[in-house]
Structure 1
Amino acid sequence: MAEFRRLLRAIPWRLIDLDQAGIGGELPEPGEGYAENAAAKATAACLRSGLPAIADDSGIEVLALRGWPGPESARWLGPDAGDADRLRALVDEVERRTPDDRRVRYVAVVALARPGAEPVLARGHCDGVLVAPRGEAGFGYDPGFFSGDLGVTFGEATAEQKDRVSHRARALARLAESELLQWSAGYR
């Protein structure tokens, strides 16, 4: 939520999380793709709250492994694995299977759902190289995602640096370009 607040600070919205909207709990991720999951989560939050809702789905893709783990990035190692476990296992898997090609891509799809309307989707990505973990910032795979744009891992980058080039920032920027966000600004 903090990342969304930073990235959408120019939009005149009062952003609230699920608990503040009175609909705490998990939102569905029924699909095999980012777009389906983002749309399902935003639609569920919108229907439960009666307010416009933004949700995303994101993941890391190893290009040499045809985009794996992709939308399963948070789940592929099982429900008990933490961020550090998944990163360590992914680095090990890439070293074992494709040691000469460590190119990765972060992908995010952001969905805006409004009462009585179909969700609007925007996609963003950023390319990098998978490296041994460096830095403590961010979350998920950030310490192992080396950004050529920044010259550091997302784990070493400041929030402001990451916000300039991240997959989520790019998806939200595309969504913000739409007139729908201007329409929704009335729901402050």
Structure 2
Amino acid sequence: MRTVRRRFEESLALQLALVFLLGLGAAKLVRPHQGVLVWLLNAVLYTTVAGCVLWYRARKDSRTLGTDRKGLVAAEHRLRKGEVPDDPAERAQLRRLVAERERQMGRTRWMVPVLVAMVALPVALAARAGSWTLALLALAGALGVAAAVVLMRRKAVRTVRRTARALDAADAADAPPPADARGEDAHRTAR
């Protein structure tokens, strides 16, 4: 199972195939009365947008790290697992990825209020239309999605902080001990 997951993380084509299938299912669910061609066009549109976003983010992150896509995937894997590499170049690359993720997460603090508004709007519209069943279904679905997004963000913040602490601890362990700890100052004063 891990090799399938790893292969999925490395392959943009597999990710886009999944987006296409999910987009096709969403189009069929939202517009069941329309034909298959409309569903396919919607799925292609969703896949194209998702592909552009994924490509842009991977390109930007790869440029920030100074590596290719495989190096980015390896660094993200280390970040998720909290692994600190022994190689100083890979460690510096992971530190740049941690700094980039912290910067990105700091910029998205506005997400929770927007998510609350996105939850309230469909519920209010459905309630205003008089469809309380639809309003309650919309509320349940929106709260589920909002809770999942908040929990995923919290987990990502914890992972980034844990990896930053592990990098700091590894750097401190690799640093040479101060002169006092080696006893050189004590040796000089004994003469």
The structure with the largest helix share of the pair is 2
The structure with the largest strand share of the pair is 1
Q: TM-score range by the shorter chain?
A: under 0.3
Could you tell me the TM-score, scaled by structure 1's length?
Answer: 0.24
* Bigger radius of gyration: 2
